[in-house]
Amino acid sequence: MQVAYTEAMHSPRPNVFSGPYIDRRTEARKDAAALAAALADPDTQLVPVWRQYSLIRHLPQPQAVLLPGQHTLRAYCEDEAFIYLGEFRGRATFAVELTEPADAQHAAARHTPLAAEAEFADLRALGALLPTDEAGLLAYARGLVYWRSKHRYCGACGSPMRPRDAGHVMTCVAPACGQQSFPRIDPAIIVLITDGERALLGRQASWPAGRFSTLAGFVEPGESLEDAVTREMYEEAGISVTDIRYHSSQPWPFPSSLMLGFTARALNNVIALNDAELEDARWFSRAAVLRGEVGLPPPTSVSFRLIEHWLGDAASASTRA
């Protein structure tokens, strides 16, 4: 297997939900006094998350709604409900999950009086439309809130878990146990396979009609990223690959993945849907993609960036010629 690591993109822009959008200030997570002072500071910002939805305002382009630290929601949220994210645009910023009865009181039918002309909306659909730093912040908040929601009880003894370190550690309350859980992400590879002028794209039955995307799969225990690329491409499409090259990565909090983008060259071109995960898979030429003969994945995704990069390679080659 031949593997190479090269410059990720022609464009310096980061993938959606990525980039240096926040100073995480990890050293502050254990400073209880500083955290208490930050929560009491009127300049502090709050990022509410309700049922995995983010608070958005549409004026006229979507923008994140960050609430002031002394917002009335503080009255029904205990301090341990707040997760310190770091400093965003120079101000201390906390995520907070709105749960019952808060959602019934403040967010019925996905609308909320928490802020004027704002509603809780799906970040997956709006990420590419938000300012880059705001998209990253909301993804970060959503990911931590989701992780905490899945670790309310100890996996070792079943006792309740309580947050520590500004919400970045969940600890079992049972003295005889004390099990700790840390935020987890699920690494997944996503790959654009080419055989020269064509790219292999597949689709799942649940997707909108006509949409195809690059092939992807989760990394298994005891497996390198390159091994996962090789295994998944053969399992899903019967294609053996070489020239595996890393492209870029993307946090994907839907619910908790880290997408690791690769390109690879096919060693054969006969498609076999071996594991029935895909409804269809086909080879598409650059011309067919450019003509719009195939529906592409959303521009929020690293899959879209992989395809965009492949199309850009052709344009660059044409310009050099």
Average pLDDT of the segment spanning 202-227: 96
Q: Which residues contact 129 (CB under 8 A, 6 or more apart)?
A: 61, 62
Q: Which CATH class is domain 26-149?
A: alpha beta
**Homologous superfamily assigned to 185-320:** Nucleoside Triphosphate Pyrophosphohydrolase (3.90.79.10)
Average pLDDT of the segment spanning 221-249: 97
Q: Which residues contact 319 (CB under 8 A, 6 or more apart)?
A: none
Residue ranges covered by each domain of the chain: 26-149, 185-320
pLDDT above 80 (res 144): yes
Categorize the per-residue pLDDT at 7 as very low, low, confident or very high, splitting at 50, 70 and 90: very low
Distance CA 288, CA 157 (A): 56
Judge whether 26-149 and 185-320 match in fold: yes
The pLDDT of residue 135 is 96
Q: What is the pLDDT of residues 50-98, one digit of tens each?
A: 989 999 998 889 999 999 998 888 877 888 899 999 999 999 999 999 8
Contact 167, 82 (CB under 8 A): yes
pLDDT above 70 (res 155): yes
The model's pTM is 0.88
- Tell me the CA end-to-end span of the chain in Å, nearest whole number: 31
The pLDDT of residue 285 is 97
The pLDDT of residue 113 is 58
Three-class HEC string of 74-96:
HHHCCHHHEEEEEEECCEEEEEE
Q: What is the pLDDT of residues 262-321, one digit of tens each?
A: 999 999 999 999 888 899 999 999 999 999 999 999 989 999 999 999 998 654 443 333
Burial class (CB in 10 A: 0-12, 13-18, 19+), 56: buried
pLDDT above 50 (res 4): no
Average pLDDT of the segment spanning 19-47: 94
